[in-house]
Amino acid sequence: MPGRYFEDFAPGDSFVHTPSRTVTETDNLLLSTLTHNPQPLHLDAEYAAASEFGRIVVNGLFTFALMIGLSVADTTLGTLVANLGYDAVKMPKPVFIGDTLRAETVVAQTRASGSRPGAGIVVFDHLMRNQRGEVVCTCKRTALIHRRPA
């Protein structure tokens, strides 16, 4: 499904995004090394085994980025001018290798852009759940989105 124009959004609209995604060891390793994050909780199985989690915890930036990425097809694919900000990012539960994650979105707010007549601002509440239905990540994303062409 292609992204939506500004006029296609209304507060309260909700989406359960597909597909879901199972997190792999490679996902975690690549994100951690690409971002130069040497946290042993993400990379060292022996260290992580001795932690309160008992195993490697997936890098939270991967979880966050995946949540946004899974939402794009239903929200901003091809219609985004720019993401203006991400607020209130929370990670209430850890993600582990092998967890299957799915994203959901609710439109929180829409308003016309004061500086760009061809665009509007949409605030999305994004949420990610694991296979047990536990919320593992949430955030608010503010996006500048094209209006439908005349």
What percentage of the chain reaches a pLDDT higher than 70?
Answer: 99
pLDDT at 3 over 80: no
| Exposure string over 29-46, b if 16+ CB within 10 A, otherwise e | bebbeeeeeeeebbbeee
Classify domain 6-146 by CATH architecture.
Roll (3.10)
Smallest Cα–Cα separation from 42: which of 91, 96, 92? 96
pLDDT-based confidence at residue 1 (cuts at 50, 70, 90): very low
Average pLDDT of 72-81? 95
Q: Which residue has the tokens 């690549």?
A: 30
pTM of the model: 0.94
